[in-house]
Amino acid sequence: MAEILLAVLVLGPLVITFLLKSNAALGFLVLCVGFVLSTSVIGDLKSLLSQLNLSATSSTLAILLLSLPLILTLLLSRHSSGKGLRFWLQLVAALCAGGLLALSVGPVLGSSSQFNLTTSSFWTNLQKIQSEIIGIGALISLVLIWFGDLKRHGRHSK
């Protein structure tokens, strides 16, 4: 069961990007922001919710802060990736986003539910390539965002 859930986490952004032609580079960077939020402001957010008489566990909030912005970004940026090499680079960014999502959600799920993803062999292999996932995802995302609209700006200015 853990391998299936990890596969869904890793391949989910790739499938959404492929089907909707979403901007996975932006999705990867949004996931990075979600990770920072889930590790930095989770206590304050939980406190705010308790003041509003709403209750949520830290793990639920962390999973929402990680996955919801990524999913919304991929849905809202549909039809924005180009064709050819740019599209293939978007797919690589989506695969890296899925890997980072699994690496970020795995420990949270393992500590709070019956899904202990950290005991599977897939998790071990994913952890071994964690640096490559983050480095390649960040590099490709930044390059796609920095140089993504050069053709449009060039045509528009003539």
Q: What is the mean pLDDT of residues 115-130?
A: 88
Q: Give the pLDDT confidence of 127-148 residue by residue, as tens digits.
A: 999 999 999 999 999 999 998 7
CA angle at 81 for the pair 94 and 31, rounded to the nearest 5°: 35
Model confidence, pTM: 0.86
What burial letters (b/e) apply to 109-131, b meaning 16+ CB within 10 Å?
bbeeeebbbbebebbeebeeeee
Comparing 40 with 153, which gets the higher pLDDT? 40
pLDDT given for residue 158 in this prediction:
45
Residue pair 7/102 in contact (Cβ under 8 Å)? The answer is no
Whole-angstrom Cα distance, residue 34 to residue 89?
22
Output the six-digit token pair for 60. 């639920």
- Domain map of the chain by residue range? 2-157
Other Cβ atoms less than 10 A from the Cβ of 97: the count is 31
